[in-house]
Structure 1
C-alpha cells in the first residue's frame, strides 16, 4: 500500500493558480491550454475549471431547448416560455417573486407577466441563458420597457447607451420623455442638452407641440439655448400655441417671460401682437406692445451685461449685439476669372454683416454717384456718410476729385437726408459724432501735413471750422473716435526698421522669408483730445516703448470704453498691447491681462493670392474675442459675397442702430445687393 509521508520538507511552497505556467497549471503535454488549473502539493490537489460557468449555462440552454428538467412556465401575451426556476431566481425581480411568502407565484408552476411584449421577454430570457442580447433601433424601446420592469439594470444601461449614441435633434424630445418615464437621469440630460443646442431643428418635429407649458418655459428660458435669432423662439412659441390655443392660453405669459422680446424684430412682434390669444389678455398684449414701441421709438438700451445670460433685455449667451456695416467701395475680380468682370464695379450700397447668422444683408442704396473712399460714423439710429470719390485712385490718373457731400441716413425708416456740403473736399478721412455734432478730420486730400478739422452743428444747420493742433499731423495709422465730450485722435509713433513680406498674423521669426512690406518699431502711443464744449486741447502719451519689430499688418488701433475710461489696443495679435486713457487724470497707462473682454469684428483679406489688387482689399469678416487674457482669439469668419476695396467699415450695436425695426434681404455669394424692404429707391429728403 502507498503511504503518505508524515512530514514534509519545510521549504515547500504552494504555487499560485494561473494559466500559462506549464503542465502543472493546466496545459496538456502538447502545450495547448485545457482551461483547467490546479494547485499541487504532496498533501492535496485543487482543481479549477475556468469555463465551468459557461459550460453550465450552455447545458441549461440545451435542456431548455430539449425540454428537460424545466420546472416553471412564464406566460407573456399568450405565449409560453418554459424555463428553469433557478435561472429566473438569479435575477432580483424573479428572486423576490419566487421567494416571497405573500405571492402565489412562489409555488406556482405558471407565472404570468403583463405590461411587456413577448418578443422582448424572449430576448431577455435568452440573455439569461446565453449572456448575449442584440439591440437595434426597431426593438430598443420595447426591450428597455421590459428590462426596466424586470429590473435588468445592465440591459437598461445597454439600451440607454444605444439610444444616446443615436441621439439627434429630430428624436431628442421623444427620448427626453422616454428617459423621464424610466427615471434615467443621464439620458434625460443628454437629450435636453441636444434640444437646447439645436433649438431651430427641434421645433420642426411633432413632439415639440406636445411640450407642456413648464417644459417649453424651461426650454426657452435655458441660459444655454442656441438660437441665432430670437425671432426663431417667438415663431416656435406661436406654433406651439396654435396647436391647442384654448388649453394653453393661461400659460403663455409664463413662456413670454422667458423670451427676449427686446431682441425680436418689429414684424415678428406685430405677428405675436395680432394673435387671438394675445389679444384676449390685456397683460399679454401690454407686454408685447411695449417691446414693439421701444423698438420704434428707439428707447431700447444696449445691454450692459457683456455675457448676456440672465437679463431679459440682453441677447442670449453666445449671441452678439455687434453689427458690421460696410459702406460703398468697388468690387474686385479674381485674377483668373473666366467671365468678363469689371474690377471697378461700384458697390453703390450699404451692406452689413450679422455675426450671429454669419450672413451679409443689403441695407440701402447710396443716394449719390460717389462710390467709395467715404467715411461713415454712427450716432444713435443715424449713419453719417461723408466725402469720398466717384472712381478709385488707380494708376497715374487723372483721378476723380474728392467730394464735399454729406448725408445722414436713418436706419429704421430707410431714409436719407442731404446735409450742407463740407467746407473742404475729403476722401479716406475719418469722422465721429460728439455731443450731437458731426466732426470730420484728415484724409488723403489734405493740402498740408497737418490734420484739419470741420464740424457740422445740426442745430445751426451749418459747418463750423475748428482750430487744429500744430503737433497733430496726418498719418495712415491715425484713429479718430468720440469719447465722452471729447474728440480723440490716437497716433502711434513708429520708426521704420526694414522691409519685409506681408505674412498676416505670424510671429516675427516667420516673417523673414518673402513679399515686401514695412516692418516697424512702435516707439510710443500719443493721444490728442479736444473738449468739444470748451474747445480746449489736451495731450498724453506713453514713455518711449522701444518695442521690437512689428509687422505693419498687425498695427491696428482698436478702442472701447470701460468704466468711463478709454481702452486702446494696438492690434489683434498676441504682440499687440493694451493702454488705458484716463480723461480725468489726462494720462495714458499700460493695461494688464483681463482688462478688456469684448468681441470685435474686422474686415480682412483672407485670400489675397486670388486677386491682383492688394492694398485695402477685403473678402472676409473675422470675429475676434478678447477674453480673460489680453490675447485675442479668432472665433469665426464670414466671407464677403464679393471681394471689395475702397470701402468704409463701421462696427456698431444692433440695439442702437434700429436693427430690429427692419427685415433685410440676405446677400448670396457674388450677389448684387437686393432691394431693401423699402425698395432700392429709398425716400430721399
Structure 2
C-alpha cells in the first residue's frame, strides 16, 4: 500500500565506506590535501582525516587558514611517526615496536588520535621493565599522556619495584623530588623494609649534590620506628646525612625514644611508627595487641610485629 513505510539498514555500510576510502587512497583518486612533514609529503582526503582526528576536523571545518589550503606544513612531529598514524586512519591497524613507539605516540598526540595513543600506552606498559622504566616515564611525561588507568598502572609497577629501580642511575636521574615524595608517602611500599627505603633515599640524594637541600623534607616520609635499633645505629647514624640534617637527627632521637618506651608504644601515635599497609594490621607489642590503619587512628609498632619487615 502507498502509505506503508518500511526501513532497511545495511550491515556492511560502515565497512564499505571505509573500504571505499581505502580504494581511493590506494588508487590516488580524489586526494585533496597534501601534508608536508620534514621533507616528506603525504596525500590524503580531508573528509577521512576529519572523521578520524579531532585535530583535522577543527582544521578543516573551523575558520582556520588551513581549511582551504591544498598543501599544509606540520611541525612538531616526524614523518615516520605520521606515516604510521596515517596508515591507521585508513586501515585501522598499526604495528608498534620499542624503536617506533616514541614517534608514533608523538604523532598520535599531535593529531589527537586517542585510539592510537591508547594502543601505544598498552604496548609500553606491557613492555615495561627495570631497564626501560625511566624511558617510559619520560616518554609519557614529555607528551603529557593522561589516559585513564595509564598512570595508575605505571605507579603500580614503580611501587612494586621501587627499591631495585632506585639502584639504577637512569631512574635516579629522572625521578623528581615531587614524585619521590609521593611514592614515599604511599603505604604500598610495605613489601620493602624501611631501612631499604632509607637507603634508596640516600641514593637519590647522592646522585646530585644539589638535592641535599631537600633532605629534611624527604626524611619526614621515612618511618624510622619501623626499623630495628641496629639498623638505625649501623646504617642511619653513620651516614653523612645524619651529620648534615637536623631533621634526621630529630627523627633518629624520636625513634630511639620509641624503642626504649616499650610499654608506651601502643599509645604513641605518629607517622614514624605507622605500619605501611593499605589494610588494617594487627601488631604485637611485647605481649600487647594493637591495630594500625592507613587512615584515622594509628597505633604504634615496636620492632616485634606480625606481617611486617625490619
Counterpart among 37, 61, 64 of residue 25 in structure 2: 64
Assess if the C-alpha contact under 8 Å between 2:242 and 2:249 holds in 1. no
**How many corresponding residue pairs?**
291
The whole-number CA distance in structure 2 between the counterparts of 1:53 and 1:159 is 25
Report the alpha carbon displacement of residue 168 of structure 1 after superposing the two structures with TM.
Answer: 4.6
Give the corresponding residue for 1:316: 276
The whole-number CA distance in structure 1 between the counterparts of 2:15 and 2:267 is 64
The whole-number CA distance in structure 2 between the counterparts of 1:285 and 1:270 is 15
Give the corresponding residue for 1:95: 57
Greater C-alpha radius of gyration: 1
Give the corresponding residue for 2:177: 213
The whole-number CA distance in structure 2 between the counterparts of 1:311 and 1:250 is 22
Give the corresponding residue for 1:233: 197
Give the corresponding residue for 2:105: 144
Give the corresponding residue for 2:145: 182
Report the alpha carbon displacement of residue 185 of structure 1 after superposing the two structures with TM.
Answer: 4.5
Within-5 A mapping of 1:612-631: none
Give the corresponding residue for 1:128: 89
Give the corresponding residue for 1:256: 219
Give the corresponding residue for 1:304: 266
SS in structure 2 of the partner of residue 80 of structure 1? strand
The whole-number CA distance in structure 2 between the counterparts of 1:202 and 1:301 is 38
Report the alpha carbon displacement of residue 286 of structure 1 after superposing the two structures with TM.
Answer: 2.5
Deviations 1:201-227 (A, max 9, x none): 332333144322221111111122233
Within-5 A mapping of 1:315-464: 315-317=275-277
* More off after superposition, 69-78 vs 236-245: 69-78
- Pair 1:202-2:162 in alignment: no
Distance 1:229 1:150, change over 3 A: same
Distance 1:52 1:286, change over 3 A: closer
SS in structure 2 of the partner of residue 158 of structure 1? helix
Distance 1:86 1:233, change over 3 A: same
Q: Which runs of 5+ in 2 are unaligned?
A: 293-301
TM-score relative to the length of structure 1:
0.38
SS in structure 2 of the partner of residue 226 of structure 1? helix
Distance 1:59 1:229, change over 3 A: same
TM-score relative to the length of structure 2:
0.77
Assess if the C-alpha contact under 8 Å between 1:234 and 1:259 holds in 2. yes
Distance 1:312 1:170, change over 3 A: farther
Q: Which runs of 5+ in 1 are unaligned?
A: 1-6, 18-47, 324-379, 381-559, 564-596, 599-652, 664-685
Report the alpha carbon displacement of residue 320 of structure 1 after superposing the two structures with TM.
Answer: 7.8
Give the corresponding residue for 1:109: 70
Distance 1:125 1:78, change over 3 A: same
More strand by share: 1
The whole-number CA distance in structure 1 between the counterparts of 2:282 and 2:192 is 9
Report the alpha carbon displacement of residue 95 of structure 1 after superposing the two structures with TM.
Answer: 1.9
More helix by share: 2
